[in-house]
Amino acid sequence: MFSFLKIPKKDLKEILIIFFREAGLFIAAVFLLFIDGVYFNEHIFKSQTMLNVLMGLAFVAMLYRANPRVRELMIIAVILGFIGEHFFSKVLGMYTYRLENVPLYVPFGHGVLYARIFRFSKASLVKKYHQEIESFLIVIMVIVSTTYLLFLNDVFGFVMTIFVFLILWKRPKDRLFFFSMYVLVVILEIGGTAFGAWKWPSIGFGVFEFLPSNNPPSGISLFYFLLDIGCFVVYIVLHQKAWKRLKSMRKQQLKSTR
């Protein structure tokens, strides 16, 4: 936390600009979930189709501007997001959308979120201060998950947050991406559930009474991580030769530094 505050003001300002450039529009778009919320659909007009179209257009626009690697990862994220959403929502009953379906804007949203965070985490200045940024994000994650636990009895979210830290314990290169994902997912989930676009049961999976849950639970990004890991795995499988070449280059670099 304090190391983050020691970043030179000029660089800190630039990092914040990069963050809001990549994530600011996404955070603002969370308020679009009001269109798929209970109040809007009961008092104005039924609008899920409109939101599906808006998110689809946003996805296509970002896909057009993305480099080939990000473009491919976005497409993979949408496909896996579509499959994962049906599995977690319809099969496991982890959460329920307002119309008890899986809106098309959701998997498209996965692709947009993935690309935004990927571009933020790969910015040169962000990578330069990645340890300072990670320490700041860890403090936010601990505050959010502990607050949810103590005041909202969110045992389910707290347990998932612990798993997030355990998964990333020996994966330092992935922490910036996934810690950033955690914070944005918390914002997304608070907006979606507040507007009534979807809801979570009062216990984990609606089954485990020893896992009381808030609506939403704090650590839901754990399942976004599984999606993101799936994207990387699929990408590596599709590009095995390039991946092997990259690993060989890294080994050579390690040998040369010894």
CA nearest to 106, candidates 159, 30, 161: 30
117 residue type, one letter: I
What is the average pLDDT score of the chain?
Answer: 87
pLDDT digits (tens, 9 = 90+) for 95-154: 999 999 999 999 998 888 888 898 899 999 999 999 999 999 999 999 999 999 999 999
Tokens 């990387």 locate to: 232
Q: Which two tokens stand for residue 3?
A: 């190391």
> What is the per-residue pLDDT for 5?
72
- The pLDDT confidence band at residue 243, using thresholds 50, 70 and 90, is low
> What is the per-residue pLDDT for 251?
56
pLDDT digits (tens, 9 = 90+) for 159-185: 999 999 998 888 888 899 999 999 999
pLDDT digits (tens, 9 = 90+) for 24-69: 877 887 888 999 999 999 888 888 999 999 889 988 988 888 888 8
pLDDT digits (tens, 9 = 90+) for 185-207: 999 999 999 999 999 999 999 99
- The pLDDT confidence band at residue 242, using thresholds 50, 70 and 90, is low
